DNA sequence: CAGTGAATAT
DNA sequence: GATATTCACT
């Protein structure tokens, strides 16, 4: 009956350890081997923002690779190679991507296949799959670039009619000109406006003063950590304030359109 | 093995 | 929700 229940319950309850007695067992129960095997370390892992871990592939500065650009492998200085274990999701940092682009550039679009690229990059921990996957996206990116790069409202007019570079990562890296269509034109490299990244903003998303958190991702600049409601925030030291307040249309196509009463779109 | 597109995972 | 990875084909 009832009394039985309450009885065992109280018993059980009274036997519960007090908070003070609850000691952290997370680590002590995990042997070093296990820890490595599961890629878990301390509970307060710097990378453990909340629920996923990642071990940036240690970019071992290849002594035989003339870095055309600067290379900040500060935090990337990894530790133990994850051995034969399932590696964490690789994050393509701009630097990493740069290397990638570099490799592809040097190989030439023709020989730029995952395997070769990977070798040339000589990034420790990078797998062929990683490169293959990335290469694909990169190709798609290039393709799209060509698509909307002709004629348009050119003249430095970005983010107008077209779509403001969908891939931030790619956009943030100097792309060898000759990549754009055609593989044999070592001389047609005339331009290729490299956007200071900061300019790349999304047009949609009218979220109040909140700047895309994507920035944080690639530039590690905590532009906005926490913003109190009502507080206005402008970008730090980034004078990239668009010209057009809310309108996404540069005063340029405004030619002769007095022909018809433009209803409204 | 390389290339794609779709699905899936983080 | 963006991205990276995996999968099934080609």
Distance A135 CA to B2 C1' (A): 11
A185 touches strand B (CB under 7 A): no
The CATH number given to A94-146 is 1.10.10.60
Cα A92 → chain centroid: 6
Distance A260 CA to B10 C1' (A): 51
Neighbours of A99 (CB within 10 A): 26
Q: Could you say which DSSP state residue A103 is in? A: H
A91 touches strand B (CB under 7 A): no
CA distances for A163 relative to A97, A159, A174, A241, A252, angstroms:
22, 6, 19, 18, 18
Q: Phi, psi (5° rounding) for residue A21?
A: -85, -15
Residues 210-229 of A near strand C (Cβ < 7 Å)? 214
Q: Are A235 and A198 in contact (CB under 8 A)?
A: yes
Q: From first to last of its 265 residues, what are the pLDDT tens digits of chain A? A: 444 555 654 544 455 444 444 444 444 454 555 554 545 444 444 434 444 444 445 544 444 444 444 444 444 444 555 455 667 788 888 888 888 888 888 888 778 888 888 888 888 888 888 999 998 888 888 887 766 655 544 444 444 444 445 567 777 766 665 655 554 444 343 333 434 434 434 444 444 434 434 433 433 333 333 333 333 333 333 333 333 333 333 333 334 333 333 334 4
Q: Are A121 and A131 in contact (CB under 8 A)?
A: yes
Q: Considering the entire predicted model, what is its pTM?
A: 0.50
A165 touches strand C (CB under 7 A): no
CA distances for A62 relative to A27, A71, A76, A82, A119, angstroms:
35, 11, 14, 19, 11
Q: Are A170 and A141 in contact (CB under 8 A)?
A: yes
Identify the residue whose tokens are 């003063």. A209
CA distance A116 to A202: 35
Domain residues of chain A, as ranges?
94-146
- Name the residue closest to the C1' of B9 by its CA: A89
Q: Which residues contact A249 (CB under 8 A, 6 or more apart)?
A: A160, A161
A128 touches strand B (CB under 7 A): yes
A98 touches strand C (CB under 7 A): no
Distance A262 CA to B10 C1' (A): 47
Q: Could you say which DSSP state residue A90 is in? A: P
As a whole number of Å, the end-to-end CA separation of chain A is 73
Distance A67 CA to B2 C1' (A): 27
Q: Could you say which DSSP state residue A177 is in? A: G
What the block records as the tokens of A180 is: 């754009």
Distance A133 CA to B7 C1' (A): 14
Neighbours of A102 (CB within 10 A): 21
List the nucleotides on chain B closer than 7 A to a protein CB.
1-5, 10
- Name the residue closest to the C1' of C1 by its CA: A214
Q: Are A168 and A200 in contact (CB under 8 A)?
A: yes
A113 touches strand B (CB under 7 A): yes
Q: Are A197 and A219 in contact (CB under 8 A)?
A: yes
Q: Is A113 exposed, middle or buried (0-12, 13-18, 19+ CB in 10 A)?
A: middle
């Amino acid at each position: 009956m009832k009394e039985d229940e309450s009885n065992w319950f109280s018993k059980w309850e009274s036997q519960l350890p007090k908070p003070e007695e609850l000691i952290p067992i997370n680590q002590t129960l995990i042997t070093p081997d296990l820890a490595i095997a599961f890629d878990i370390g301390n509970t307060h892992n710097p990378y453990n923002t909340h629920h996923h871990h990642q071990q940036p592939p240690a970019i071992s500065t290849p002594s035989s690779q003339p870095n055309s650009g600067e290379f900040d492998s500060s935090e990337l200085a990894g530790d133990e190679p994850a051995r034969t274990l399932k590696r964490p999701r690789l994050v393509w940092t701009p630097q990493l991507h740069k290397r990638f682009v570099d490799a592809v550039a040097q190989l030439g679009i023709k020989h730029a296949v995952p395997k070769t690229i990977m070798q040339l990059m000589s990034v420790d921990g990078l797998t062929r799959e990683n490169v293959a996957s990335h290469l694909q996206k990169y190709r798609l990116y290039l393709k799209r670039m060509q698509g909307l790069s002709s004629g348009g409202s050119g003249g430095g007019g970005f983010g107008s009619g077209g779509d403001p570079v969908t891939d931030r990562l790619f956009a943030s890296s100097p792309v060898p000109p000759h990549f754009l269509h055609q593989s044999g034109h070592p001389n047609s490299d005339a331009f290729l406006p490299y956007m200071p990244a900061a300019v790349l903003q999304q047009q949609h998303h009218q979220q109040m003063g909140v700047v895309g958190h994507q920035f944080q991702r690639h530039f590690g600049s905590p532009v906005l950590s926490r913003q109190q409601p009502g507080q206005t925030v402008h970008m730090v030291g980034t004078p990239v304030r668009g010209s057009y307040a809310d309108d996404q249309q540069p005063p340029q196509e405004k030619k002769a359109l007095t022909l018809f009463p433009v209803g409204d779109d």
